[in-house]
Structure 1
């Protein structure tokens, strides 16, 4: 039931709308691949579900996998998911669906933490830092330092070398006040620019919104290729969670 008096809270929007064709098995989206009998998405959801400052979770899911996910939520005792919605045609559009859904349950003064279902190695400290940084500055982009030299190849054959001390890898969560990111999404829709953005922080930067960062754990990678799944599996064996 949708609440009539919407609370202000901290909401995780978990993006599970992709199929992960680069992962190598088109039959099963990568977020539903299992390790030790548990799907990757459940490992991710557990971090937010067990965090005492997260008030609700919206999952944006591949539409034909929604019944499977709903069964998994019950099986593994995930209790904070308020809604599961179908993804759109693009990742950008899918996240918009999740944001719009969140407004049905929470005040637009709430904080949203947008996270990939296939980043199962997030930690509680990073979730805390995202919430606190948004409260102070209005945004928080989880990053990780680049430690190797970056070379750019241009189409004309030229190259450029970047100083890694001046660059960060953008990861997730990417967190904002709900009313702020919704207003920018609506502006992008009016202007027809949505398809140009790789992620939320790219869109916010394009429209001049100030971005603050936090450094997340090295392990907070996106499981994209089979080798990434091995990294995740080895970490689970070492840490047990």
Structure 2
């Protein structure tokens, strides 16, 4: 069984949108989170989806899902105090309803520029290695600085990757890691891959293109609009 856990529990303060959270901003009358969910909805190997949502927006999300014909979202749960807590809320539902060998792809609700191949590659990577972390090669020089903002070394760019999403794991493994973190009163892990690494799991990567952006700022939204329109035009005109 393969499930997607879509994390959309943040309010998105950097987007400067006063009317609604960033995941519910619309492009062509469709919310960003719906664009994201549709990739998993349409994928033949995804069996079910759980969405972690800001509690006050759950009813709005239900209406948007119905409006857009989304059928694979089986559970919607409220977010927690931190990103880690929110993801745990989604994992808890999966743990209560799915086999422990279920593959879980954890993905940002505001990362809509993925595709079927990337989802497939993540599933296959988990099957082969138990973990999958989507990454993008670094294209610019990375420098390390000290507390005085003085550069003390440059990192070899060929070895650097930017961690993105989806991130895939077996349900038993990722849920167990979360339970261990909770037992240690840790609630602020940066992301799932970091947590798994900290608890001894080897991480294996799946590469994606640079267009797999997380929509965090107004500039990101305009990039999303341009790339989304370009994808649509290529389908229409056969480019």
Do these two structures clear the TM 0.5 threshold for a shared fold by scoring above it?
Answer: yes
CA contact (8 A) 2:82 2:187 kept: no
Post-superposition, which runs of at least 4 consecutive aligned residues in structure 1 deviate over 3 A? none
TM-score by length of 1: 0.94
Matching of residues 91-106 of structure 1 within 5 Å: 91-106=83-98
Deviation at 1:157, TM superposition (A): 4.1
Question: How many positions carry a matched residue from both structures?
Answer: 232
Aligned to 1:126: 118
Aligned to 2:15: 23
User: Which digits, 9 at most, give the CA deviation of each residue in 1:147-169, with x for residues without a partner?
Assistant: 11011222144322111111100
Structure 1: gaps (5+ residues): 1-8
Deviation at 1:27, TM superposition (A): 3.0
Aligned to 2:224: 232
Aligned to 1:176: 169
Does residue 1:108 correspond to 2:100, yes or no? Answer: yes
Matching of residues 176-195 of structure 1 within 5 Å: 176-195=169-188
CA contact (8 A) 1:51 1:124 kept: yes
Does residue 1:50 correspond to 2:39, yes or no? Answer: no
TM-score by length of 2: 0.95
Matching of residues 186-205 of structure 1 within 5 Å: 186-195=179-188, 197-205=189-197
RMSD: 1.1
Could you tell me how far apart the structure 2 residues matched to 1:131 and 1:39 are? 26
CA contact (8 A) 1:44 1:118 kept: yes
Could you tell me how far apart the structure 1 residues matched to 2:149 and 2:25 are? 40
Could you tell me how far apart the structure 2 residues matched to 1:148 and 1:98 are? 35
CA contact (8 A) 1:32 1:41 kept: yes
SS at match of 2:97: coil
Structure 2: gaps (5+ residues): none
Deviation at 1:56, TM superposition (A): 0.2
157-166 vs 133-142, greater mean Cα deviation: 157-166
Could you tell me how far apart the structure 2 residues matched to 1:238 and 1:182 are? 38
Does residue 1:88 correspond to 2:84, yes or no? Answer: no
